Amino acid sequence: MALFDVSGYKSHSELRGQILGTGVGHLIDRPNQQFSVPVGVDPSGFLKSCSREGGVSIDLNHGTTTLAFTFRHGVIVAVDSRASAGSYIASKEANKVIEINPYLLGTMSGSAADCQYWERLLGKECRLYKLRNKQRISVSAASKLLCNMMLGYRGMGLSMGSMIVGWDNKGPGLYYVDDNATRLSGRMFSTGCGSSYAYGVIDSGYREDMTVEEAYELGRRGITHATHRDAYSGGVVNLYHMQEDGWIKVCKEDVSELIHRYRKGMF
């Protein structure tokens, strides 16, 4: 920019590059945001040594169940609430849905720290977008922002599987964004290690023209059956409904009570 040139302003990254020379001295995903790390640190190299080929095995599993599906009357988002650290249950009432703004929701699976940080950052970017452009950010753009953030740190050990849910001019929107920077638009997603159990239930009961109550019940059932079989999911079902004028939180029900209700009549 002209003013920069005239005033001789050098940005932080340029200065550091001059001092330290070329080489990995910082991690950048956006021009004015970076993590400063000690020189010589190479996260990707370090992580390779932690993978199975290197001998040690640090498995980054997404220990949760979250699901979301679109239907005629909007988008249903349902998540469990168990936060686990290995085999220890760190929290039975973790909040895995981040309310970015009244018309945008993000779910979290994977490393809790990564999800919370990056999705709050996404919230900040969405707010800045609205202030700069005087209109709400679209779901597609919001998910793309998150995806690009992930791309900047690809291979460095982030663990995040998230669904961005919202309602914009194009109607209800559902995107799946991954720590590998996968970004997929779809009608139905489920993430986490309990996702396969949830898929069985929601595949089997899903119809595009469901009523709202049926959709709530399907979301609850999906999470409940997944928590029944998966050890890393449990707690309560947090159910959200994304409607045209914003999201509403439908319910927060304990899965132990729900599973007894559903399995009445079993052995």
Partner 1 sequence: MALQDLCGFKDSRWNFPDSILPFLSFPPGFPPSSSPSVPLPFPMSHGTTTLAFMFQGGVIAAADTRSSCNGLVACPASQKILPVHSHLVGTTSGTSADCALWKRILARELRLYQLRHGRRLSTAGAAKLLAHMLHPFKGTELCVAATLCGWDGCELVLSGPSLYYVCSDGTRLQGALFSVGSGSPYAYSVLDGGVRWGLTVEEAISLAREAVYRATHRDAYSGNCVDVYHITSHGWTRRDREELREEYYREKEREKVKAHRGCEGSSSPLGSAEAAGLDEDVRALSISLHMLEALCLSGDKRGMICQ
Q: Residue 239 and residue 228: Cα distance in Å, rounded? A: 17
Task: Name the segment binding partner 1 (CB under 8 A); options: 15-23, 26-34, 87-95, 222-230.
Answer: 222-230
Decide if residue 221 touches partner 1 (CB under 8 A). Answer: yes
Task: Name which of 88 and 267 has its Cβ closer to partner 1.
Answer: 267
Task: Name which of 208 and 245 has its Cβ closer to partner 1.
Answer: 208
Decide if residue 228 touches partner 1 (CB under 8 A). Answer: yes
* Strand-pair partners of 254: 236
Decide if residue 200 touches partner 1 (CB under 8 A). Answer: yes
Phi, psi dihedrals of residue 125, rounded to the nearest 5°: -65, -35
| HEC letters along 56-104 | CCCCCCCCCCEEEEEECCEEEEEECCCEEECCEEEECCCCCEEEEECCE
CB 264 to partner 1: min, Å: 8
Question: Is the Cβ–Cβ distance between 235 and 224 less than 8 Å?
Answer: no
Decide if residue 225 touches partner 1 (CB under 8 A). Answer: yes
Active-site residue, from 64, 65, 70, 107? 64
Decide if residue 216 touches partner 1 (CB under 8 A). Answer: no
Decide if residue 220 touches partner 1 (CB under 8 A). Answer: no
153: CB partners within 8 A, 6+ apart: 27, 29
Decide if residue 188 touches partner 1 (CB under 8 A). Answer: no
Task: Name the segment binding partner 1 (CB under 8 A); options: 135-143, 144-152, 223-231, 242-250.
Answer: 223-231
- Respond yes or no: is residue 227 known to be catalytic: no
Give the torsion sign (CA, 259, 260, 265, 267). positive
Token pair, residue 132, equals 């700069």
Decide if residue 237 touches partner 1 (CB under 8 A). Answer: no
Decide if residue 136 touches partner 1 (CB under 8 A). Answer: no
Question: At residue 178, what is the residue type?
Answer: D
Task: Name which of 93 and 203 has its Cβ closer to partner 1.
Answer: 203
Using CA atoms, how far residue 42 sits from 114, 141, 144, 147, 249, in Å, is 19, 31, 26, 22, 42
Q: Residue 100 and residue 128: Cα distance in Å, rounded? A: 12
Residues between 44 and 83 with contacts to partner 1, criterion CB under 8 A: 72
Decide if residue 5 touches partner 1 (CB under 8 A). Answer: no
Per CB under 8 A, the list member of 14, 42, 93, 203 interacting with partner 1 is 203
Token pair, residue 67, equals 């699901």
For the annotated catalytic residues, the residue numbers are 64
Give contact residues for partner 1 (rule: CB under 8 A).
72, 196-201, 203-204, 207-209, 211, 221-222, 225-226, 228-230, 262-263, 265-267
